[in-house]
Structure 1
C-alpha cells in the first residue's frame, strides 16, 4: 500500500492534554508554560499560566518538538549528553530546538507517536510530572467508550 491513515492528535485531544497539565501544575503550585505539538511537530495548543517564566515559552515548545520528533521523553537524554558521548552536541541540532531537559513526553496511540506535551518553568522533574499528567489524560480519552 502506498499510503495509510495513522492516528492523529486532534485539537480536542490537545486541549485535553493542556487542561490536565494545567490542573497538575496548579496542584503542585508551579505555574507552567505548556505546549502540545502534533506528529508533524507543529504547535497545536499552548498556554502560559500566570507567573510562568517568560524565558520558558520556547523551552516548552522545544521539549514537545523533541519528544514527538525523537519519540522518547526528553528526560531520556539526562545522563547521555556529556562531553565525549555519542549524543554530545545533539541539543545544537534542528536549529537549536532539540531539548535534552526533562519535561517533554510523547503521546502514543496504537503504537504511533501522535504528538507530545512539553512543559517548562519548574525543575525538569516537575516539568515532566506536569507533561505526563497531560499525556495520561489524552491517552485515557483514546479508550473506547463502554456501551450501555
Structure 2
C-alpha cells in the first residue's frame, strides 16, 4: 500500500486566497470578510475590509467551517436544511454552529480536503463568486 502525502494548506496559500477574494470583492464594489481554515478547522488567515459590516467576520468564519465539515460548497447545502429538507435539523445538531448561506467552499489538493474559505459581507451569490475566484487562483 502506498501512502501519498498531500501538501497541507500553507500561509502562503492563504495569502493567495485572501488576495484573490479581496480583489474580486473590490472589483464588485463589495466590502467583505474572508476566512481561511486549515484541514483541522484552525484559523489560517482572516481579513475584514474596514467598511465591512461586523457580522461579516462571523459569517465568513462559519461558512468556511461549514464547507470544511461537510466538504461541500455552502451554496449547495441551502435547500437541504430548509424545513422540508432532509437535513433540516443539521443547523442545530453540533456544538459549533454551521451556516448554510452561500460563500463557503472546501479546498482540495490532489483530491484531498486541505481546508476551506468563507466569504461574508456581500450578497450570498457574490460571496460564493469571490470564494470561487480565490480557489481558482490557488489552483493556477
Q: CA RMSD in A?
A: 1.7
Equivalent residue, structure 2, for 1:55: 55
Equivalent residue, structure 2, for 1:67: 67
Indicate yes or no: 2:109 matched with 1:109. yes
CA contact (8 A) 2:108 2:115 kept: yes
CA contact (8 A) 1:37 1:44 kept: yes
**Cα shift at 1:23:** 0.3
| Structure 1 runs (4+) greater than 4 angstroms displaced | none
CA contact (8 A) 1:107 1:139 kept: no
1:71-97 deviation line (CA, Å, top 9, x unaligned)? 110011122212143200212233242
TM-score (norm 1): 0.87
- Partner secondary structure for residue 14 of structure 2: helix
Equivalenced residues, count? 140
Structure 2 unaligned blocks of 5 or more:
none
1:1-148 map, 5 Å: 5-140=5-140
Structure 1 unaligned blocks of 5 or more:
141-148
1:84-118 deviation line (CA, Å, top 9, x unaligned)? 43200212233242111100011111111111110
